A and B are shown apart, each in its own frame.
Chain A
Amino acid sequence: MHEEALLRDLRRKVRELAPAGGTVRIVRVRLWVGALAHVTPGSIRRRWPEVVADTSAAECQLEIDLSTDPSDPAAQRVRLVEMTADDGPGGVG
């Protein structure tokens, strides 16, 4: 239930930032998982294709930093840290 709710929220955010048919292609997404977030990188990876389906991040590489610090103020949270876009040959800088 907990993973489901978190991943649905992440999906909303990814769709907002990287809509299907957008001009940029997202090649990498980095997540930070708090030490007390009650989700494992494995469970996120298993469901990740559903999170990015029908977005321009559909084929992105997923990187997960797992925190071990239970005193971090966000220890119970999952953070979408950054997304890397491929701006194509030459790019826009």
Chain B
Amino acid sequence: MTERTIAVNYLARVEGEGALRVRIRDRTVEEVELRIFEPPRFFEAFLRGRHYTEAPDVTARICGICPVAYQMSACHALERALGIEVGGTLRELRRLLYCGEWIESHALHIYLLHAPDFLGYPDAIQLARDHPEAVQRGLALKKAGNAIMRMLGGREIHPINVRVGGFYRCPSRDEVADLRGEVVRALALAEETVRFVAGFEFPKVEEDYEFVALRHPEEYPLNEGRIESSTGVDIDPADFDGTFEEVQMPHSHALHSVHKGAGSYLVGPMARYALNHDRLSPRALRVAQEVGLEPVVRNPFRSVLVRAVEVVYACEEAVRIIDRYRPPERPWVEAPPIDHPTHGAAATEAPRGLLYHAYDVDPSGLLRTAHIVAPTAQNQKRIEDDLRHLVTRSLDLDTPALTFACERAIRNHDPCISCATHFLSVELVRE
């Protein structure tokens, strides 16, 4: 046998992690399918048989940007199953941790993923050449969010200090107070961010969304509240499955969610703001009014402005919690022994929107079932609706221009897949 070696030296490329298939017949858009290639991850399956205390740390691994959201939804659902209530300072610390995540996640999306679209740059690196002060502002905000998560969670990504019932360790008063200066500076940067993004040029588009978010009697929602919608849904999170359902689509690995009998809906900052703007903190409300942000935003491109207002809220709320903090007597609430199979469900507000968890726990504390509905999956069908309308309006664009327009439309909703700047391959079929 004679062998011959062929030198190739080909560097594999990462691209096309999502694909959009559009079929047009006689200038009518007949089919829009957003395909996400992320392989199924089976988190719900491999939680089965594990002890309930593992759920917050296991589910945190679902996302590196919003691990706190997974920890919070897991904790609240399991605490409902166990019949324990976490209030007072521990509840405040959870809100503080969540504020840290909102700040870092929103700052990442506003400055590094979304702003380049509005200012005509392919990515944040190119944007930084001409607007270094803007990108530095974004990075300083992200750093402040990370500082909160590091202090309270032990580290910025996949924090390790959250447990069912509270925290493994609560910080001292000094540790919390040390954050104050950085968060106060971040609050000013957040207000500048709102004014900065208010200067963007927004395409004039309005969509008829059904907004779905938590609503709490007193607070802008993070951890708790009823699930409400702009069309009149008003349910306890435990009734999520009775009102919404997941549907398997052959073209995507992600499940689509629909409001039963009504169709697609939208979760995330636009939904939260539309249903809760009267619960914003004073400075967040003031800067929203200053830039003329309407109480209900239906233009998806203006979601960046809503996200910026939420960063102001998260900074202001973080300062409030820091100023009132006194270490609690115990870092966690002890769970009672389980003597019968039990079930718990809860939803919290991840940066990208409503995140629902439900668990069945057996008397030995092992999880029998786990059910997780992530915000991006809930929005996917609604994103396809946005894309269908966009393509209908843009039939005369060539494929590169249409691809960019579709990428922008998807990034409006900050789906997890938007981390890749150029991720979309568009297949345009004209019949």
Which A residues lie at the B interface, using CB under 8 A?
1-2, 4-6, 8-10, 13, 17, 24, 27-28, 74, 77-93
Contacts and interface: CB of A to CB of B under 8 A. Distances in A.
A6 B13 CA distance: 6
Nearest to B7: A82
From A1, A13, A27, A84, name the one whose CB has the most chain B CB atoms within 10 angstroms. A1
Interface stretch (B14-22, B42-50, B75-83, B187-195): B14-22
Nearest to B18: A1
Interface of B: 1-17, 36-39, 417
Contact of B12 (A78, A83, A90, A92): A78
B9 A79 contact: yes
Contact of B17 (A4, A24, A91): A4
A62 B417 CA distance: 31
Given A82-B7, A87-B3, A92-B4, A1 B12 contact: no
Given A85-B6, A88-B2, A5 B15 contact: yes
Contact of A81 (B3, B4, B7, B417): B7
A55 B5 CA distance: 17
* A-B interface, 5 closest residue pairs, ranked by CB to CB distance from nearest: A91-B2, A1-B38, A80-B10, A87-B2, A78-B12
Contacts of B2: 86-93
Contact of A1 (B8, B13, B417): B417
Nearest to B417: A1
A83 B36 CA distance: 31
Contacts of A82: 5-9
A5 B16 contact: yes
A74 B3 contact: no
Nearest to A18: B6
Given A8-B16, A83-B8, 5 more contacts: A9-B14, A79-B9, A79-B10, A85-B5, A92-B4
Contacts of A1: 17, 36-39, 417
B245 to A, nearest CB: 25
Contacts of A91: 1-4
A1 to B, nearest CB: 4
Given A4-B37, A84-B5, A89-B1, A9 B13 contact: yes
A93 to B, nearest CB: 7
A83 B6 contact: yes
Contact of B3 (A8, A17, A85): A85
Contacts of B5: 82-85
A74 B16 contact: no
Contacts of A86: 1-3
A9 B36 CA distance: 16
Contacts of A28: 3
Contact of A78 (B3, B11, B417): B11
Contacts of B3: 27-28, 84-87, 91
Contacts of A89: 1-2
